[in-house]
Amino acid sequence: MRALVLIAALMIAAPAVGQEVQGQPQGPPPQGGGPLPGLDNGDMTPGEIQKLFDAYLVMEAQQALQLSDQQYPQFLSRLRTLQDTRRKNQQERNQLMNQLQRLTNPRAQARGDETMIKERLTGLQELESRNAAEMRKAYNALDEVLDVRQQARFRVFEEQIERRKIELLMRARQQNRQNNQQGPNANPPVRRPPGR
């Protein structure tokens, strides 16, 4: 249920994303109103948030890229492959980075020796090389379905959605900070119409 609420919030908060891809100028960004459903109370993991943005990208891509009915099924299949590849590689990278953080933490009692750290660094370099090759392969497969303009639009569209995701996460973080500073018993501020 909260996933549907957040997707609805994304669609309301980001209507300009598809318009900007289609060459229309983007209007002023929406001002932060109330808390964002699902994001404001910290009950969603980054992985869940990424999945919601992936779902949003799938929902909006056909219109933003002006895909034909023949293109869409192949595009969708290859887009999911791209998203799965990105997610899998990000999870592996996060695991390695967490291990490196634990091994090099100056406050930890059981810090790793240089051999262990070197192994993780080598693993990180190998992962980054493999990730680059897998992502290039996934993008090439996706590009086979699209014409040149659609390929360019897709890159811009992806970038816009990534920016919007970061904006929404920052707003959620600010909301959490404000809620923590005000405390659980604080009264929410009274909202008044502009000019009064």
d(CA 193, CA 196): 6
- Rounded mean pLDDT, 185-194: 56
22-50: string of b/e by CB count within 10 Å (b at 16+)? eeeeeeeeeeeeebbbbbbeeebeeeebb
The pLDDT of residue 182 is above 50: yes
Taking residues 88-96, what's their average pLDDT?
Answer: 93
Whole-number average pLDDT of the chain? 77
Q: Which residues contact 124 (CB under 8 A, 6 or more apart)?
A: 93, 96, 97, 100
Q: Which of residues 148 and 22 earns the better pLDDT score?
A: 148
Give tens-digit pLDDT for 40-64: 445 666 667 777 888 888 888 888 9
CA distance 151 to 149: 5
The answer to whether 146 touches 71, Cβ cutoff 8 Å, is yes
